[in-house]
Structure 1
């Protein structure tokens, strides 16, 4: 029975009882007004359930009732971050900071929004401000490390990742895996392959389903001329993320070096198809060029072998 049908029946019953009892006066109807805080709590609950658009709309209602509700702006920013609307996320966090200059979460979230926009200097400024408010929060160190890596300051990024690891209070294996993976990537950029491999191994041990760590370790194996290891890791990436075109390219190159030419050509062909389907025209064209070049080399090597 629908809610509307139940409501209709309840009205009929109440009406018939009124005729039977004929009260001399009516009971007062109590109306409870919904506050901005009520909308805020409802918005937080929707965020936890992953209903980001609904959460934003609920935070809108809270802000309509209370224009200077700083934490509502800050939390609405999280919804926009999840929906990849980084411009609006920055706007909301800025408003939150205007109303509450000591809002740590607003600086942290605005820094993340700047990072996602590729504005690494602004991200670092916000994370510095966040750390001035809470010097022991690992998230600000980790996020600042990501921004520094984005700027190409990988040595400073490693220092931040180290600080993040020392400040974590509640150990989360997935979170630790992320930090080790990103620190390993910074080591790899600095051509410290041994340290990078150690970090990628730790990341994979903590999270065996993190395809990024396998991808990065595969790249490190490639630099070490360990093509068997590279094929192993890129195969894991493809198992966990079957549409990862770059993993097909990298595995194809490693297979070519090992002399598995048919497998290499198959991987590059698959990569070109994924790049085309994903609308990545430049990567698609480069993969086709690589495929053509390797085919020519195989053909040339075959001709030499015949003579």
Structure 2
């Protein structure tokens, strides 16, 4: 080995030896507890990572060996139910909430979440039973009244739904304008179903005032306008729906009908054509075919009117 190479080794290696501490610090190993996994799941839920949250909740649940401890973590089942709700797995959501209730019968959140899961499954009676229990456990929770109102409206009990929406509004303490807009919008739908047209219009106006980007409220108000023969108002509001939700095929259909009534035949045909294209893209075959039939019918009527005018 040459002198220069040996010198290089002595310069490089020797200083490295002095970088090693006399006593290395111990590496601490911290065991992650079930409570830690539960908190991780809650954090993931807050960030919208629902599948990852479910995995954390799974880890928070005790093993069969520690089955006696499972009651202490009933909240994990309730929270996992909420994650399944967000993923639209309603069957699993019901199963988890039922487990949470078995271990903690006074868990109002579990009854609330299971009620929502039943509602989304279309089982309105079961939803109402669970939401009744949630209200009994926590009478000040506006969410339970609101969701019971939705279930009652789904069950065709619109008068009772309106009472629940009113109770939800009285129980709200601090809430965002977006949530208020939702309640007014859904109460407006219940009024509309009962032919309380003026009350429905008032609620939809309030919903739009609170949330100017709520396309559902514009859609519903447009329907009220059409019901009242205000086709200009219907075109205005359906145009807002399309601006906020460009692929809303039903809004194109309804605006097309309103334009036809106003004599704007080209605009009507254009809207119906656009609606048929969106329905086809969305795989809604029945709606697609019905829209084409309507388009054909209106074209025939326009052609007939034109022929009469020529003679």
Q: TM-score when scaled to structure 1?
A: 0.91
5+ long unaligned stretches in structure 2: 1-15, 64-68
Are 1:245 and 2:245 an aligned pair? no
Which residue of structure 1 aligns with residue 31 of structure 2? Answer: 33
2:240 corresponds, among 212, 220, 236, to 236
1:300 corresponds, among 267, 289, 304, to 304
Which residue of structure 2 aligns with residue 199 of structure 1? Answer: 203
1:106 corresponds, among 110, 114, 118, to 110
Distance in 2, matches of 1:163 and 1:134, equals 13
CA displacement, residues 230-261 of structure 1 (integer Å, 9 cap, x when unaligned):
00000000000000000000000000000000
Are 1:265 and 2:269 an aligned pair? yes
Distance in 1, matches of 2:27 and 2:210, equals 58
Shift of 1:47: 0.4
CA displacement, residues 133-181 of structure 1 (integer Å, 9 cap, x when unaligned):
0112110000000000001111110010011001101132111000000
RMSD (Å) for aligned C-alpha atoms = 1.7
Are 1:92 and 2:90 an aligned pair? no
> What is the aligned residue count?
291
Shift of 1:67: 3.5
Q: TM-score when scaled to structure 2?
A: 0.90
5+ long unaligned stretches in structure 1: 1-14
1:123 corresponds, among 122, 127, 148, to 127
Are 1:146 and 2:150 an aligned pair? yes
Shift of 1:32: 2.0
1:190 corresponds, among 194, 198, 206, to 194
Distance in 1, matches of 2:131 and 2:234, equals 36
Do the aligned partners of residues 97 and 17 (structure 1) sit closer, same or farther apart at CA in structure 2, a change above 3 Å counting?
A: farther
Distance in 1, matches of 2:17 and 2:124, equals 70
